[in-house]
Amino acid sequence: MWNNKMKAFTLSYDDGITQDIRFVELLNRYGLKATFNLNSGIQTKANSWVNKDGIVVRRMNMDGLKELYAGHEIAVHSLTHPDLTKFDEETVYNELARDKANLEAFFGTKITGMAYPFGTHNEQVRAVAKKVGLHYARTVHSTNHFELPADLLQLPATCHHGAENLMDLAKQFAEAKPDMPQLFYVWGHSYEFDFDQSWERIEEFFRYISGREDIFYGTNAEVLEPFYTEG
Ligand SMILES: [Zn+2]
């Protein structure tokens, strides 16, 4: 796995918003791979909100997304972005199965993962995720380490991209020479780079972590597939 490398790096971004255009351009420039978690039931530009500083966060229309996200992974984020823990099983099933089916039909790929909207989940939500054929589901929990996840349906990240210790973790990871597989997993929303004017900060991080021979750069699925369980 991982082309015989002991270290892998992956990214996970949510909601399919316009700032992803600039973000994907950065990823592609540095040869990095990410997973984009989309809500197919509300993936239109009619869905927008404005933050306290007047910055617009707008979902994109589906048109053109296949081209934009080419080379990256598309994953489920539920049909309409609710807190799934508030629903009965049938509604959770509908939210996950229909999003998966819509995205598979549109992108022409098999989808194997998801990110929980708001990061919330419970036993029922995890069971439904498994039932609809999803192998991993990301939470919003940060571990601040590079150990492999114990439970792919409660997948934590190493950190959010805004973490103060992002560059410290990057240096730690870059310098490590592990005997066991290690994973550096970063998540966020690309509109946050507009909110806190951190486009240069993320580029500096990408410049540092990219292009290393001992790191495998893959989407979430490419990195996690060796650990998928049957069924
Ligand atoms: Zn979201």
Residue 230 has pLDDT above 90, yes or no: no
Distance 78 CA to ligand 1 centre (A): 9
Distance 117 CA to ligand 1 centre (A): 5
Residue 136 has pLDDT above 80, yes or no: yes
pLDDT, averaged across the chain: 97
Distance 175 CA to ligand 1 centre (A): 32
Distance 118 CA to ligand 1 centre (A): 6
Distance 14 CA to ligand 1 centre (A): 5
Distance 104 CA to ligand 1 centre (A): 19
pLDDT digits (tens, 9 = 90+) for 63-86: 999 999 999 999 999 999 999 999
Q: What is the pLDDT of residue 124?
A: 98
Residue 31 has pLDDT above 80, yes or no: yes
Q: How many CB atoms lie within 10 A of CB 222?
A: 17
Distance 88 CA to ligand 1 centre (A): 20
If you average pLDDT over residues 114-143, what whole number do you get? 98
Residue spans per domain, the chain = 2-227
When pLDDT is cut at 50, 70 and 90, the band that residue 57 belongs to is very high
Residue 231 has pLDDT above 60, yes or no: no
pLDDT cut 90: percent of the chain above it = 99
Distance 7 CA to ligand 1 centre (A): 27
Fold of 2-227: TIM Barrel (3.20.20)
Amino acid code (one letter) for 212: R
List, in sequence order, every beta strand (DSSP E) within the chain.
7-14, 34-38, 48-50, 56-58, 73-76, 113-115, 136-142, 155-157, 159-160, 182-188, 215-217
Contacts of 123 (CB under 8 A, 6+ apart): none
Q: What is the pLDDT of residue 133?
A: 97
Distance 37 CA to ligand 1 centre (A): 8
Residue 221 has pLDDT above 80, yes or no: yes
If you average pLDDT over residues 138-153, what whole number do you get? 97
Distance 77 CA to ligand 1 centre (A): 7
Residue 49 has pLDDT above 80, yes or no: yes
3-state secondary structure of 90: helix
- Asked if 39 contacts 184 with a C-beta cutoff of 8 angstroms, the reply is no
When pLDDT is cut at 50, 70 and 90, the band that residue 229 belongs to is confident
Distance 93 CA to ligand 1 centre (A): 18
Q: What is the pLDDT of residue 204?
A: 98
If you average pLDDT over residues 87-110, what whole number do you get? 98
Distance 182 CA to ligand 1 centre (A): 26
Distance 18 CA to ligand 1 centre (A): 14
Distance 176 CA to ligand 1 centre (A): 32
